[in-house]
Amino acid sequence: MSSQPDLDQLQRRIGYQFKSPERLLLALTHRSFGNQNNERLEFLGDSIVNMVIAEYLFLHFEKAREGQLSRLRARMVKGVTLAEIGREFELGSYLRLGSGELKSGGFRRESILADAVESIIGAIYLDSDFHTCREKVLQWFEQRLKNLDLQDTQKDPKTRLQEYLQSRQFPLPQYDVISVDGEAHNQTFHVTCALPSLDRKTSGTGNSRRVAEQQAARNALKELGVENQ
């Protein structure tokens, strides 16, 4: 959040030492901070991470169909996953934000964290080469990629619950945040998922509202007997 963040510490966290630290500084600069910001780097980084993850999936899931590969890639490069990586680097502490975004808590906003991660990827590419950048992306995603299997190509719990209810002409679920615990950079969200027409309510927790809602939806599917316990 500082205008002069400790770039040495951040570079140790991401595992890359910039030849030109100003590239990293630019990658941390949100558009609310000024005209010189990370939007162009984000565009570049988005393309790179999609390419690197697509190549990995193509090589490691030889029997997967195109649709399955696309869904696996979407799961890996979606905003919530990138934001989780940003939180692991404690990226919110290094972002350069305008006063409005600072006041509204932009340093912990999922979309801003995800964009910054992509911007850093773009900055690493410009500072080095594609091979080095590819290594960093795979390193950051390593554990998530190892945990992938073709079962992950199914739709997410919120979508499955919505489609189940709509197919039976029931009202859509209602999600509410009950409480938020922890410090700004390490919060836990507690959410409920209410199904008024079925007189049911489930709960979920997670490090973002979206993750907590997905867990609550998954629990609702289990209670309805749609999915196994």
Instruction: Choose the catalytic residue: 101, 110, 118, 127.
Output: 118
Answer for the pair 189, 207: CB distance below 8 angstroms, yes or no: yes
Contacts 24+ apart (CB under 8 A), 103-109: 105/184, 106/30, 106/32, 107/1, 107/184, 107/185, 108/184, 108/185, 108/187
Instruction: Choose the catalytic residue: 6, 8, 22, 46.
Output: 46
Verify whether residue 6 is a known catalytic residue. no
Is 115 annotated in a binding site? The answer is yes
Strand partners, 192: 176, 203
One-letter amino acid identity for 75?
Answer: R
Is 90 annotated in a binding site? The answer is no
Is 42 annotated in a binding site? The answer is yes
Q: Please name the residues in contact with 121: beta carbons below 8 A apart, sequence gap of 6 or more.
A: 44, 45, 48, 49, 133, 136, 137
Verify whether residue 183 is a known catalytic residue. no
Residue 167 and residue 95: Cα distance in Å, rounded? 44
Answer for the pair 206, 215: CB distance below 8 angstroms, yes or no: yes
Active-site residues, by number, are: 46, 118
* Residue list for the binding site: 42, 115, 118
* Residue list for the binding site for Mg(2+): 42, 115, 118
